[in-house]
Amino acid sequence: MDKESAFHSDEELAWHEAGHVVLGVLAGRGSDGVSLKYHDDKSAARTHIHEPHDVRINANELRFSIRCLLAGGVVDAVRISQDDDVADYDYLDIREHLGYYEDSTDWDRVEVRIEQFLELQGKEPTADACDICIENIWSETVQLVEEYWTMVEALATALMQEGEMTGIQVRELWESVMPLPEGYE
């Protein structure tokens, strides 16, 4: 855990990944765990949330997937706003401020899923339509992250201490802080 990627310290990465985990748990998904360990290519291991193999089939599954992918960025935005004493972390402003991490596959996957989400609703995935859709789902994700901030903080703290957590450890920590959401695997 002593390495740092170009975009994340271990602390930043722990908070970011905690956001993904919390939204995955809230969606009722199981997790194989989360790790801050680095691979040979120096990329950090990520959160492993159980997702359906084909999320294009259902708008609710796509919304879940997009929220989970955005959750790390939302946590980053909330932390930046706390550090800078900024009350508002609007999606379009924060996306520019963060420059959304170039090494992140989260953003690429968000863009693909937003296009699928719009197409599923019979809408043309124009740049404007995609931005509006992402902004709406970003706002939903912000509300959930704020509501469950205590859990995000507990998971981030545990990750900074341990470096990795299994799905069972995530579950046990969650249950020690608050009841698991209904439907959690």
> CA 115 to CA 3: how far, in whole Å?
35
pLDDT digits (tens), the chain, 185 positions: 333 444 457 888 899 889 999 998 888 776 778 888 765 554 555 566 655 555 446 888 889 889 988 888 888 888 877 766 555 555 545 555 444 544 556 777 888 899 999 999 999 999 999 989 988 999 899 999 999 999 999 999 999 999 889 989 999 999 999 998 886 65
pLDDT for 6: 41
pLDDT for 7: 46
Q: Identity (one letter) of the amino acid at 180? A: L
Closest CA to 142 of 51, 65, 76, 48: 76
Strand partners, 31: 49
| Cα torsion 46, 25, 82, 158: sign | negative
Of 3.40.50.280, 2.40.10.230, 1.20.58.760, 1.10.287.3510, the CATH number of 10-177 is 1.20.58.760
**Model pTM greater than 0.85?**
no
Burial of residue 67, with CB atoms counted within 10 A of its CB: 0-12 exposed, 13-18 middle, 19 or more buried: buried
pLDDT for 131: 87
Strands of 164-166's sheet in order across: 48-49, 31-35, 164-166
Domain ranges of the chain: 10-177
Three-state DSSP state, 51: coil
Q: Which tens digit of pLDDT belongs to each residue from 71-112? A: 888 888 888 777 665 555 555 455 554 445 445 567 778 888
> CA 175 to CA 114: how far, in whole Å?
32
155 within 8 A of 21, measured Cβ to Cβ: yes
